[in-house]
Amino acid sequence: MKQLSGLDAGFLYMETPTTFGHISSLSVYDKPDKDSENPYEILRGRLEQRLPLLEPLRRRLVEVPFQLDHPWWIEDPDFDLEFHVRHIAVPGSGGPRELSDLVGRLISRPLDRTRPLWEAYAIEGLRKGRWAAFIKMHHATIDGAAGALMTMMLLDAEAGAEPPPMPETPPTEAVPTPLEMMGRTMMRYTSRPQRFFAAQNRMMGDLLRIATNNANQARSMWSFPKPGRADSAAGASTSLVSPRTPFNKSISPHRRFAYRSFSLDDAKAVKNHFEASINDVVMAACAGALRRYLVRHEALPDQPLVAMVPVSIRTGEEEDMWTNRVSSIFSRLPTHIDDAAERVRYARDAMESAKSSFDLVPTESVLDFAQFASPALVSQAAGLMTRTHLADQVRQPSNVVISNVPGPRQALYMGSARLRHYYPVSTIAEGQGLNITVQSYEDKLDLGLVGCRELLPDLWHLIDDFEVEIAELVALTDSGPDAEVEAEAG
């Protein structure tokens, strides 16, 4: 048995009838080389063959009675692969709209907590004979970095490669009784004061080290902003609330999904032109696209929007790779700036300021204290926010979640089928009805948008705004847009 960390368990406690804790991916593959190869059999066979490597697929949740402590994982004694792997087809012409509608419906359903927290779908009926693998997993099981690692474990660098040797699958575990779980919880409670004081000492030591090594930066962070600086990129991390937008309200349980691919070379051309990073370009493109969308809806705030950007804190030395090791930074988005070039510069400076402030936060110590959060209270607070529609009354710390995940540059395969695109499908929460996630693969940037169905009925128009914005950014450089990638994704 293995207990969930406070951060992992938090993704369970956030779930309500309208908010779900799963994250997903949509992988689009070429038609298999052999007509005898069936996409469902390819996907099912690959999952079954790699199962010994993939602990998150085998483990099942065990709750503590009365939510007195965080839940535990066990090796599921009743594991049923057939339940988790499903076969489905896209209706109609099999185009992007039909596929996105299907994905939107799949992510609008919660996962069954009595079984391992994942589902996989082999989706046929796409254009050009292509097919897709849609995998949905709970965020309590993995974060984005672990999900990317899992993808690499499922795929090969060559078509039809021989399967690697597999370790022995660990033995299953009996489901403990409620009485056994209560006994285990009481034992942990005896060490709770010791663990709390250890976490407190670590926090004090980290704060002292940060203050010593970053004295000037710390004074700047905790001082009041100077007059005239409230709207500058340098103040990007000081705002605790965000302006209101049409998608910053209470959400429904229904989702929309939209996706498109863009040229990585185009993004690099913009990056080089402005001496920025790929992430800066992504942030600027998001700001420009959101600005166009909000102007069209006559809802553009005077202040810049605020983006929450997930940050991996993995060191590569973790004993358990299958857990969440993620924090976040808050950065202003230059949606209030009309000039595209200025938006890139502002986004670059805002991210630099946000990263500097993040360095002043003792992230590891903060995660230590997450262990002591009350599961019952956190769950009740999440439910109360949904029932009272509190997000309609209170401004949120951020308007949108934006994530940029670096992916592999080489071609990958599942059997003889080549992976063409890897679209991220993330999650939304109360008061934040839009998520923007980008995943790079080969020479492409695959963009996935997830939105509340009621708050963003025209999510595909926002995808079109990204295309217009990126074309404008590329026009500022010496190169032209990569039409081949855009046409392939269309």
71, 61 in Cβ contact below 8 A?
Answer: yes
Q: Residue 304 CB: number of other CB atoms within 10 A? A: 28
Q: Which H or E run contains 192? A: helix 192-213
The answer to whether 139 is a known catalytic residue is yes
Residues 431 and 249: their CA atoms lie apart, in Å, by 4
On the 0-12 / 13-18 / 19+ scale of CB atoms within 10 A, 270 is buried
Query: 424: helix, coil or strand?
Result: strand
Of 471, 484, 480, 417, nearest to 444 (Cα)?
A: 484
Q: For residue 80, how far is the Cα from the chain centroid?
A: 27
Q: Residue 264 CB: number of other CB atoms within 10 A? A: 21
354, 304 in Cβ contact below 8 A?
Answer: no
Residues near 332 by beta carbon (within 8 Å), at least 6 away in sequence: 233, 235, 236, 239, 304, 305, 306, 307, 346, 350
Of 347, 343, 353, 335, nearest to 297 (Cα)?
A: 335
Looking at 139, 297, 389, 461, which residue is catalytic? 139
Edge-to-edge strands of the sheet including 444-452? 255-263, 444-452, 434-441, 400-405, 305-312, 326-333
Alpha-carbon dihedral sign for residues 455, 248, 25, 270? positive
Residues 273 and 41: their CA atoms lie apart, in Å, by 47
Task: Give the torsion through C-alpha atoms of 31, 37, 41, 42, to 10 deg.
Answer: -50
Q: Which positions are catalytic?
A: 139
